[in-house]
Amino acid sequence: MNKIFLEKITIFDIDIVVCIGSKLEDWEKWMKKVKLSKSFLKDYKYIRPQIQEGFKILHEANNGCMACIKNEEGVNYYFLLLKKWEYSSQCYDTLLHEIVHLKQFLWQAKVIEKEVEFEAYFIENTFTQLREKLNIICKK
pLDDT, residue 32, reads 84
pLDDT, residue 57, reads 84
Closest CA to 39 of 67, 72, 9: 72
**Cα gap 135→67, rounded to integer Å:** 22
Give per-residue burial for 30-66: e unless 16+ CB within 10 Å, then b: bbeeeeeeeeeeebeeebeeebeebbeebeeeebbbb
Q: Which residues of the chain have pLDDT under 70?
A: 61, 140
Angle (nearest 5°) at CA 135 between 84 and 89: 60
pTM for the whole thing? 0.89
